[in-house]
C-alpha cells in the first residue's frame, strides 16, 4: 500500500536530495546510487541502495537536520507528508473500527454505547503468547478479558473436581474472545485456554482498567438501560444525551408490596416511575360506584406518570403493584433543579428549529443570540487590535449606541485558497451556540463579497501569554522563582480553562487549540477563550457512519497530545493533555516539552514518561494533576475516565485549597489582576499594528460561504 503511493525521483551526482534547515515534507528510500550525510558542511555518514532517510519529516513536519548529497547519480522513491499522514489515519481508523467490531460481538458488551465501546477499544493492550502457553488456568482467579487477533486458542476443562485430566471443549480463532465474565465477576476461571500451534496474538483488558474507564460493568449496563427507557418517553425526547444522563443519575429506587397503590387516581402527581422489576396493573375508578376497572398491565422497562414532570394535575388512574415491584423514581423537583422546568425545555426546542446553526450542531441556543441586529454600515472603525493569516481584528464602535466591539475580518480569497471555509463556518456555528461567561461572546456575523466578518465582545486586557512572558518583567502578576505564577493565580486561570472545557465537552465539542495566546484577559480580570478555528464536534457524522475520532492534525506543537502527532485518531481527551501542558506553563513559565527543535518537542511528548520533569519546589499535588493529565494513553488520561471532568474538579490541587468552582463561574472570585484600562477604547494592551491591510478581491463562487 505504501509503495503504491510513492513517487520516483532522480538526482545527479553532486545534487542535494535534502538540505539542512529546509522545511521537510518528504521521506526517501534510495533505490540506486550513493549519497553523503553532511551536518554543517561536515560529512558524518553515507547512504547506499536500500537506505532510507527523511522520516522525521513524515512524523513531525520539521526542519531538516542534515544535508543528503548524491555522490553518484541516484534514483530514490519519495512519499510526502500529506500522503503519509493519510495512510496513518486510514490504518489507525481501520484498527479502531476493527477493534470496535470485535467488541460489539461480545454478548456481554452489546448493551454498551458507541462511545463506551470506543473507550474500551482504545484501552485494549496487545499481548502475545508462545506455543502451548496457558493464557487462562482453570480454578485461578480471573480479572482479564481477551480478544484473539491471530492464532488459535484451545479450550479444555478438567474431567471432574478430582480428575484434572483435561478434556477438550472447543478451539477459538481470530475474532473470538474469552474471559469476558472477569469484567463483571471475581470468580475462578471455569476452563483452561491454551495457545496452540505457534504464537497467539491477543488484545487484553483487565477489570481494574475497565472500572477506571466506565465503572463496574453491572452499573454501566444498568445505567444504559435507564437511558434507553428515558429516550423512549415521548415528553423527554427533546433532551440532549447529557441531560438524559443527569436525569438517569437522579433516579431513586422505591419498592412496593403486592396490592400497594403506587399512585392513586385524583391525587396530585409529582413523580415519574420506571418499572425495574415486577408488574403493575392500571385501573380506573368509576365515579359514584367507586368500582375499579382494569385498563392494562405494565412490566419491567415500562414507565408511567411522566406528565407529573410537566404539570400539577390530578392522576388520571390508579397503578397497583402485582406482587413485589421495584421502581426507579424521579421527582419533579429534582428534575427542575437539574434542568429547569420541562415546559422551558420544550420551548427551547421550538426556538432551536428556528436557528440553523444550533440545529446543525444540536447545541443549546441562547437568548443572547436573539439581540437586535447591528448593521455593518453602522460600525465605525477606530483602530487595529491584531492581524492574522486571513485578515485582521479591528476596534469598532456602534454609531447609534456608542457601544464598542471587536470586528474580525477574514478575506474570502485567502480562506478559499487554503480550503478553510468549512472550518470558518464551523467556528461561527460553535461560537453562536455558546453561552458561557468564560467563552468569547459572538454578537453577529456578516458576509460581504470579499470578506467574512465576526462581531464579538471587546476584551481589552490582551493575551494571557503576554502576562506569562512579555509582561513578567513589569511584575503586573507576581511570579515565583520557578518562572511562573503563584499557585493561587495558576489555579484561577487553570480552573477557568477547566470550566470552559467542561462546557464545550458537554456539547461534544473538542477545542483542540488550547494555549495562552487564545485566552484574552477581559476588563474585569477574568479570561475568555477565543479562536475556535480548530474546534470540532466529536463524535461526528461522516456519510452514514458515526465517527468517534478525528484524524486531522491541528493545534500548536507545544500542546499536541501524542495521538495527534502520531495520527492515531483523537477525541476530546486531547484538550486534557493540553490542559496539563497549560497548568505546567502557568506554574513554571514554560511548556513541559519545550525545545527550539519541533521534532524534539514531539519526541518528548510521545515519551513523556521519560522526559516529563518538574523543577525543585513544584507543588506535589500540582505535579500529580499534571502527570495524570499528561498520561500518554488517552484512554487513561485524567478527565477521560469514568468520572469525566469531575476527577479534575475534585483533584486535591483544587480541593485542598478550598477552591470554589461556583464563585469562579459566577465571577465572585477576586481575579489575580485587573488590567489597567483607561476607557472603552484603550488598546494599550495590544501591539501597535498598521492598518494597511489590502483586502484581496474574491472572484470565486459565493456558494462556498453560504450559511455564514
pLDDT tens per residue across span 643-670: 889 999 999 999 998 899 999 999 999 9
Burial of 490 (0-12, 13-18, 19+ CB in 10 A): buried
Joined grid coordinates for residue 355: 436557528
Residue-range domain boundaries for the chain = 3-81, 106-215, 218-351, 376-456, 462-666
534 carries a ligand binding annotation: no
* Coil, strand or helix at 439: strand
Query: Which is the catalytic residue, given 513, 571, 575, 619?
Result: 513
Please report how the helices 241-250 and 332-339 are oriented relative to each other, as an axis angle in degrees rounded to 10: 140
pLDDT of 364 > 60? The answer is no
Task: Reply yes or no on whether the pLDDT at 7 is more than 80.
Answer: yes
- Between 86 and 587, residue with greater pLDDT: 587
Alpha-carbon dihedral 474, 479, 482, 485, rounded to 10 degrees: -130
Give me the pLDDT at residue 70, please. Answer: 95
Which stretches within 80-216 are classed as H helix?
Answer: 81-104, 114-123, 207-214
Establish whether 574 is an annotated binding residue: no
Burial class (CB in 10 A: 0-12, 13-18, 19+), 254: middle
pLDDT-derived band at 484 (thresholds 50, 70, 90) equals very high
Is 582 annotated to bind a ligand? Reply is no
What is the chain's alpha carbon radius of gyration, rounded to the nearest angstrom? 31
pLDDT at 91: 65
Q: Which grid cell sits at 646?
A: 469531575
Distance CA 581, CA 601 (A): 12
Domain 106-215 has CATH 2.40.50.220: no
Q: What is residue 362's predicted lDDT score, i.e. its pLDDT?
A: 34
- pLDDT score at 2: 58
- What is the pLDDT confidence band of residue 365, given thresholds at 50, 70 and 90? very low
Which SS3 state, helix, strand or coil, does residue 322 take? strand
Q: Is the pLDDT score of 245 beyond 90?
A: no
What's the rounded Cα separation, in Å, for the pair 64 and 117? 41
> Pick from 175, 85, 186, 91: which is nearest to 141 by CA?
186
Of the options 1.10.1060.10, 2.60.120.10, 3.30.465.10, 1.10.1200.10, the CATH number for the domain spanning 3-81: 2.60.120.10
> Which of the pair, 504 or 228, is modelled with greater confidence?
504
Tens-digit pLDDT profile for residues 149-195: 899 999 999 888 778 788 888 999 998 889 888 887 788 888 999 99
- Cα 163 from Cα 138, distance rounded (Å): 13
494 is in an annotated binding site: no
Q: Helix crossing, 342-353 with 332-339: angle to 10°?
A: 40
Phi-psi region of 630 (alpha: psi -120 to 50; beta: other; left: phi over 0): alpha
60 has pLDDT over 70: no
The answer to whether the beta carbons of residues 132 and 195 sit under 8 Å apart is yes
Q: Residue 359: what pLDDT?
A: 33
Per DSSP bridges, beta strands 442-447 and 134-136 are unpaired
CATH no. of 376-456: 3.30.200.20
Residue 388 marked in a binding site: yes
Task: For residue 245, give the C-alpha cell.
Answer: 444522563
Q: Under DSSP, is residue 470 helix (H, G, I), strand (E, B) or coil?
A: helix
Confidence tier at 688 by pLDDT (50, 70, 90) = low
Whether the CB-CB separation of 672 and 664 falls below 8 Å is answered with no
pLDDT at 352 (0 to 100): 46
Reading the block at residue 506, the C-alpha cell is 458537554
Whether 445 contacts 370, CB under 8 Å: no
- Element counts in the chain: helices (H) and strands (E): 21, 31
In three-state form (DSSP H/G/I as H, E/B as E, the rest C), the secondary structure along 166-203 is EEEEEEECCCCEECHHHHCCCCECCCEEEEEEEEEEEE
Residue with more model confidence, 31 or 24 = 31
389 is known to lie in a ligand binding site = yes
Residue 623 CA to residue 218 CA, distance in Å, equals 34
Q: What is the pTM of this model?
A: 0.71
Q: Is the dihedral of CA 632, 636, 638, 644 positive or negative?
A: positive
Give one word for 275, left, alpha or beta, with left for phi > 0 and alpha for psi -120 to 50: beta
pLDDT confidence bin for 216, thresholds 50/70/90: confident
Three-class secondary structure of residue 616 per DSSP: coil
Rounded-to-integer distance, Cα 19 and Cα 39, Å: 10
Residues present in the chain in total: 708
442: buried, middle or exposed (CB in 10 Å: 19+, 13-18, 0-12)?
buried
Output the pLDDT for position 96.
Answer: 76
Indicate if the pLDDT at residue 390 is higher than 90. Answer: no
390 a known binding residue?
A: yes
3-81 and 106-215 have identical folds:
yes
By percentage, how much of the chain surpasses pLDDT 70? 90
Active site residue 571: no
Q: What is the pLDDT of residues 453-481, one digit of tens each?
A: 999 999 999 899 999 998 766 778 999 99
Q: Is 19 annotated as a binding residue?
A: no
Are residues 305 and 315 in contact, defined by beta-carbon separation less than 8 angstroms?
Answer: yes
What pLDDT, on a 0 to 100 scale, did the predictor assign at position 255?
A: 92
Query: What superfamily would CATH give domain 218-351?
Result: Jelly Rolls (2.60.120.10)
Model confidence pLDDT, tens digit, residues 96-123 = 778 888 888 887 788 888 888 888 888 8
**How high is the pLDDT of residue 698?**
94
pLDDT 10s digits, 330-340: 888 888 877 67
Q: Look up the CATH superfamily of 462-666.
A: Transferase(Phosphotransferase) domain 1 (1.10.510.10)
Per-residue confidence (pLDDT) for residue 4, from 0 to 100: 66
Who's near 492: CB < 8 A, 6+ residues apart? 664, 669, 671, 672
- Confirm or deny that 391 is annotated as ligand binding: yes
Q: Is residue 246 annotated as involved in ligand binding?
A: no
CB count within 10 Å of CB 89 equals: 18
Q: Is the peptide bond before 539 cis (omega within 30 degrees of 0)?
A: yes
Beta strands in 440-501 (DSSP E): 442-447, 451-456
C-alpha cell at 127: 499481548
Any idea which residue has 513559565 for its cell?
589
Spatial separation of the C-alpha atoms in residues 680 and 670, rounded to whole Å: 22
CA distance 412 to 450: 6
The reported pLDDT for the residue numbered 642 is 85
Portion of the chain with pLDDT greater than 90, in percent: 47
How many angstroms separate the Cα of 387 from the Cα of each of 68, 453, 621?
A: 38, 13, 39
**Which tens digit of pLDDT belongs to each residue from 574-629?**
999 999 999 999 999 999 999 988 878 988 998 898 999 999 999 999 999 999 99
Distance of CA 560 to the CA centre of its chain: 13
pLDDT, mean over the chain: 86
Least confident of 299-308, 383-392, 393-402: 383-392
- pLDDT above 90: residue 227: no
Residue 357 has pLDDT above 50, yes or no: no
SS3 state of residue 85: helix
Amino acid at each position: 500500500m505504501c509503495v503504491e503511493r510513492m513517487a520516483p525521483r532522480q538526482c545527479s551526482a553532486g545534487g542535494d536530495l535534502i538540505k539542512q534547515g529546509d522545511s521537510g515534507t518528504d521521506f526517501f528510500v534510495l533505490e540506486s546510487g550513493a549519497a553523503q550525510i553532511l551536518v554543517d558542511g561536515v560529512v558524518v555518514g553515507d547512504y547506499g541502495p536500500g537506505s532510507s532517510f527523511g522520516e522525521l519529516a513524515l512524523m513531525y513536519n520539521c526542519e531538516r537536520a542534515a544535508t543528503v548529497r548524491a555522490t553518484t547519480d541516484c534514483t530514490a522513491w519519495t512519499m510526502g507528508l500529506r500522503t503519509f499522514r493519510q495512510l496513518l489515519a486510514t490504518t489507525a481508523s481501520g484498527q479502531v473500527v476493527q477493534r470496535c467490531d470485535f467488541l460489539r460481538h461480545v454478548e456481554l458488551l452489546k448493551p454498551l454505547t458507541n462511545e463506551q465501546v470506543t473507550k474500551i477499544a482504545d484501552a485494549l493492550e496487545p499481548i502475545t503468547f508462545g506455543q502451548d502457553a496457558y493464557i487462562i488456568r482453570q480454578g485461578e482467579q480471573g480479572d482479564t478479558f481477551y480478544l484473539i487477533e491471530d492464532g488459535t486458542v484451545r479450550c479444555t476443562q478438567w474431567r471432574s473436581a478430582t480428575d484434572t485430566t483435561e478434556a477438550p471443549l472447543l478451539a477459538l480463532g481470530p475474532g473470538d474472545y474469552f474471559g469476558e465474565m472477569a469484567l463483571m465477576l471475581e470468580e475462578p476461571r471455569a476452563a483452561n485456554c491454551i495457545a496452540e500451534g505457534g504464537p497467539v496474538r491477543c488484545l487484553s483488558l483487565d477489570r481494574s482498567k475497565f472500572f477506571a474507564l466506565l465503572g463496574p460493568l453491572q452499573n454501566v449496563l444498568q445505567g444504559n438501560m435507564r437511558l434507553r427507557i428515558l429516550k423512549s418517553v415521548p415528553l423527554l425526547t427533546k433532551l440532549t444525551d447529557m441531560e438524559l444522563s443527569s436525569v438517569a443519575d437522579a433516579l431513586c429506587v422505591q419498592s412496593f408490596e403486592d396490592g400497594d397503590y403506587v399512585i392513586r387516581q385524583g391525587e396530585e402527581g409529582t413523580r415519574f416511575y420506571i418499572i425495574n422489576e415486577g408488574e403493575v396493573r392500571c385501573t380506573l375508578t368509576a365515579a359514584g360506584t367507586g368500582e375499579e376497572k382494569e385498563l392494562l398491565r405494565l412490566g419491567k422497562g415500562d414507565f408511567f406518570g411522566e406528565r407529573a414532570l410537566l404539570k400539577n394535575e390530578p392522576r388520571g388512574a390508579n397503578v397497583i403493584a402485582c406482587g413485589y415491584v421495584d421502581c426507579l423514581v424521579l421527582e419533579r423537583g429534582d428534575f427542575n433543579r437539574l434542568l429547569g422546568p420541562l415546559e422551558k425545555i420544550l420551548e427551547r426546542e421550538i426556538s432551536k428549529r428556528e436557528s440553523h446553526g444550533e440545529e446543525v450542531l444540536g447545541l443549546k441556543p441562547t437568548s443572547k443570540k436573539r439581540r437586535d441586529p447591528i448593521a455593518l454600515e453602522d460600525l465605525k472603525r477606530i483602530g487595529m487590535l491584531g492581524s492574522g493569516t486571513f485578515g485582521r481584528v479591528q476596534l469598532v464602535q456602534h454609531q447609534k449606541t456608542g457601544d464598542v466591539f471587536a470586528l474580525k475580518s477574514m478575506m474570502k480569497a485567502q480562506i478559499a485558497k487554503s480550503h478553510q471555509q468549512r472550518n470558518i463556518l464551523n467556528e461561527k456555528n460553535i461560537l453562536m451556540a455558546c453561552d458561557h461567561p468564560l467563552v468569547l461572546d459572538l454578537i453577529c456575523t456578516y458576509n460581504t463579497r470579499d470578506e467574512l466578518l465576526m462581531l464579538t465582545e471587546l476584551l481589552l486586557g490582551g493575551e494571557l501569554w503576554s502576562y506569562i512572558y512579555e509582561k513578567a518583567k513589569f511584575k503586573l502578576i507576581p511570579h515565583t522563582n520557578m518562572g511562573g505564577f503563584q499557585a493561587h493565580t495558576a489555579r484561577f486561570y487553570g480552573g477557568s480553562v477547566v470550566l470552559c472545557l467542561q462546557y464545550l465537552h458537554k456539547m461534544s465539542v473538542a477545542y483542540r487549540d488550547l494555549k495562552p495566546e487564545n485566552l484574552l484577559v477581559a476588563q474585569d480580570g477574568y479570561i475568555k477563550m477565543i479562536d475556535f478555528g480548530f474546534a470540532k464536534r466529536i463524535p461526528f457524522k461522516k456519510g452514514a457512519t458515526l465517527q468517534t475520532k478525528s484524524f486531522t492534525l491541528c493545534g500548536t506543537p507545544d500542546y499536541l497530545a501524542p495521538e495527534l502527532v502520531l495520527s492515531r485518531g483523537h477525541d476530546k481527551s486531547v484538550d486534557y493533555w493540553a490542559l496539563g501542558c497549560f497548568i505546567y506553563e502557568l506554574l513554571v513559565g514554560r511548556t513541559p516539552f519545550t525545545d527550539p527543535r519541533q521534532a524534539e518537542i514531539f519526541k518528548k511528548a510521545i515519551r513523556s514518561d521519560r522526559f516529563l520533569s518538574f523543577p525543585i519546589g513544584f507543588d506535589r499535588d500540582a505535579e500529580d494533576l499534571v502527570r495524570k493529565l499528561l498520561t500518554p494513553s488517552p484512554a487513561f488520561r485524567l478527565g477521560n475516565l469514568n468520572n469525566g471532568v469531575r476527577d479534575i474538579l475534585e483533584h486535591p490541587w483544587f480541593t485542598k485549597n478550598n477552591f470554589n468552582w461556583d464563585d469562579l463561574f459566577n465571577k465572585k472570585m477576586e481575579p489575580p489582576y485587573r488590567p489597567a484600562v483607561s476607557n472603552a477604547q484603550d488598546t494599550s494592551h495590544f501591539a501597535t499594528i498598521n492598518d494597511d491591510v489590502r483586502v484581496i478581491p474574491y472572484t470565486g463562487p459565493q456558494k462556498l460561504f453560504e450559511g455564514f
